[in-house]
Amino acid sequence: MKYQVGEVGRVVVAQLDDEDDILECLVDIVKKERVKAGIFYLVGGIKNAKIVVGPAQDVMPPMPTWRELVESHETLGIGTIFWYKDEPRLHFHGAYGKWDTVKAGCLREAAKTFLIMEAIIVEIKGVRAVRDLDPASGMVLLRLLGSFDRT
């Protein structure tokens, strides 16, 4: 295990409107406000989205299993913001409900707002963290820079 201790910086409250591209809007805010590290919360309606619900098998590299959210779903979740090279990369896991059915998974592709999506972005200051290509998984994962091993 590795870890660093930081502090809470700015807090951004955003209202995403019907048909807004959720991930695109968040990336736009993060770039404009120069948020280098943070967490974000989403609550509201989503549609036309694709989520990863886990690997097909527990092997490396993992092969994702996808599900589509075509109709509107209620959404609640949390994500992280760290940069990979010159671009912010968002990692969001949420629960998506419609009637009596709930799915949980990682939102990775374009998704549209249904009616409204509320986003709260909390900047983390004082940490040195990026996303970097992990050779074993083939994924761009969190890497703490200059951290001490605390195991």
Q: What is the pLDDT of residue 8?
A: 98
Q: Is the pLDDT of residue 103 over 80?
A: yes
Which amino acid appears at position 33 of this protein?
E
Nearest to 46 by CA among 97, 108, 121, 120: 97
DSSP state of 147: P
Sequence-ordered list of residues with C-beta below 8 angstroms from that of 32, at least 6 positions apart, any chain = none
Q: Provide the whole-model pTM.
A: 0.93
Structure confidence at residue 146 (pLDDT): 83
pLDDT tens for each residue of 129-148: 999 999 999 999 999 998 66
Q: What is the pLDDT of residues 27-84, one digit of tens each?
A: 999 999 999 999 999 999 999 999 999 999 999 999 999 999 999 999 999 999 999 9
CA distance 22 to 28: 10
Domain ranges of the chain: 11-126
The number of angstroms, rounded, from the C-alpha of 31 to the middle of its chain's C-alpha atoms is: 15
For the cut 80, the answer to whether the pLDDT of residue 150 exceeds it is no
**Residues 12-28: tens digit of each pLDDT:** 999 999 999 999 999 99
pLDDT at residue 151 greater than cutoff 60: no
- pLDDT tens string 90-100: 999 999 999 99
Cross-strand pairs, 142? 131
Looking at domain 11-126, its CATH class is alpha beta
Q: How far out from the chain centre does Cα 52 lie? A: 12
Check residue 110 and give its pLDDT: 85
